[in-house]
Amino acid sequence: MNYLLGRLLFLPGILLGISVHEFSHGYAAVKLGDNTPLLQGRITLNPLSHLDPLGFLCLLLFGFGWAKPVMVNNRNFKNPRRDDAIVSLAGPAANFLVAALFTFFMKLAYTFLPYTLSNQIIFEVLRGTVYINLVLMVFNLIPIPPLDGHHILGSIGGAKVWNFYYKYYDHLRFLLILLIVFRGVGTIIGPPINILYRFLMSTIFY
């Protein structure tokens, strides 16, 4: 029962984090000259437009997951290598901004709301939103397909890196699923998430 309640308290943060993340990818792409996300209806904060069933289930069960990727046509960019990296970074950057904003909301709630059970639930939803957005940020920076990190690394490394990803794409995706199922991802991203979480808490609360 406590586990189920904890998942439910994280749900608003998951839906917001996914929506902001994918919206930011699409918005950045459109601003850089590619209208593909706009034509596909991805310039929206409606989570139903962005949810990937398996990725959403993994988020609920394991705490790590992904959304439906925003499709981008690099040929529409003026500088494809640079602009692809910017689009890929836009999602994780937006998640960090949401985490910082909701840390501030936590401070307001802690300062002005009296201690009641209902207000404690509000506080936990805010805290969950901070944490899950940090999870989405750090997790998506892992350089394994289909996560944003592999686009960023490919844009930096050029053709040799992209050829490697093309050759081993399916193998790497399977590796990612294994890491999620067997909790290996937590070992990788847990430390940076905790550092960022403590940084935000110390910035706002002290």
User: Which tokens sit at 156?
Assistant: 């930096």
pLDDT at 64 over 70: no
Q: What is the pLDDT of residue 69?
A: 86
Q: What is the DSSP letter of 36?
A: H
Q: Could you read off the pLDDT of 79-99 as tens digits, one per residue? A: 999 999 999 999 999 999 999
Q: Is the model more confident about 1 or about 145?
A: 145
User: Which tokens sit at 181?
Assistant: 């199922």
Lowest mean pLDDT among 48-62, 71-85, 169-183: 48-62
Q: What is the pLDDT of residue 140?
A: 92
Report helix, strand or coil for 177. helix
- Cβ atoms of 67 and 55 within 8 Å: the answer is yes
- Cβ atoms of 137 and 113 within 8 Å: the answer is no
- Cβ atoms of 88 and 74 within 8 Å: the answer is no
Report helix, strand or coil for 38. helix
Percent above pLDDT 70 for the chain: 95
Q: What is the pLDDT of residue 1?
A: 47
d(CA 58, CA 55): 5
pLDDT at 122 over 80: yes
Question: If you average pLDDT over each of 25-29, 142-146, 171-175, which comes out highest?
Answer: 25-29
Active site residues: 22
Q: What is the pLDDT of residue 83?
A: 95
pLDDT at 206 over 50: yes
Q: What is the pLDDT of residue 84?
A: 94
d(CA 135, CA 21): 12
DSSP string of 93-141? Answer: HHHHHHHHHHHHHHHHHHHHS---HHHHHHHHHHHHHHHHHHHHHHHHT
Q: What is the pLDDT of residue 65?
A: 67
| Average pLDDT of span 44-50 | 93
Q: What is the pLDDT of residue 3?
A: 63
